[in-house]
Structure 1
């Protein structure tokens, strides 16, 4: 495969009692991005972490901090997560009344801007913002909880997005999140993804298994 495959372990599946150590361990094991799932209990039916945790984790890794904001409204918190140390801020079209303006703000903060497509969110949501996007995240589960089964309809969406990205000539990450494991990883990669978010599959087996888990995901299971 000509595109480099990057693995973004989701700390949602890490041991929260030892989160700094878990981030250091997954970093040392070969993670490319550290994926941070931020949930507000309103936009999605779960409650996780805020900017303070991102700030606390930032000294533990030099890897890209990939922050997925499952919060609504998202705009009031962009500055706080940027200041906390996020490198990528990804938002849902449904969580901002003015997606173009929100992406402009992320870029103005010096961060990479991502747009997240839920299973029922059409690819057309990106039609007028492709020039601002640095990452497109396809949700292959409904957002809110880890450990869900992969939704197969994400695959044709990934294929369409790969064609859209290639047509721009820009270096836009195509990331997939949800139900990624040794079986679904090669299918997502074959469809055109180049960043895989994996929580359970990355953190399974404890720190001694992390390097093997990441290597297996990277090479398509």
Structure 2
């Protein structure tokens, strides 16, 4: 039966591995004895002794932080989920979106490390979404980043995409005439608009700009 990550939060790594059924107390004590003569992490020692795998240790480290560990091997991420985060954001924070609910404004991302708090906080601020983070294998995240975000999307790319969208053409053509506020609201929640704002904000953060001007 799966263990709730909250039950593992704050526990010592050896205890977490035992709780997960990976190691026994005796194996952990053996590794601790070795650690007295070798100043290396307990997880590394357990792997060297053959009592755990790198994935086991990564899962346990995630549990220590109260986070779930997910296996992304063979997972097919839908294009609308990938498009929820612009390439610049995904590459900058080294994260991959794995679930996205635009109506509920919920986004689930996979991190390489449970200590990547900045990615979660910044994406919440940039996107205005409830961001849930899980941990996944570093090599798999690198592979997914290369597969889906190898070409960085620029602000001009997104603007060009918006310009060709009939929904936005209609708004632009309204000129000084009355504007359908519902249509404006719907347009503002479009993935492409959110993506454009994210790119602008990310660039502002990189440039340490105090003001952003739109013309």
- Greater Rg over alpha carbons, structure: 2
What TM-score range do you get, normalising by the shorter chain? under 0.3
The structure with the largest helix share of the pair is 2
TM, length-normalised to structure 2: 0.20
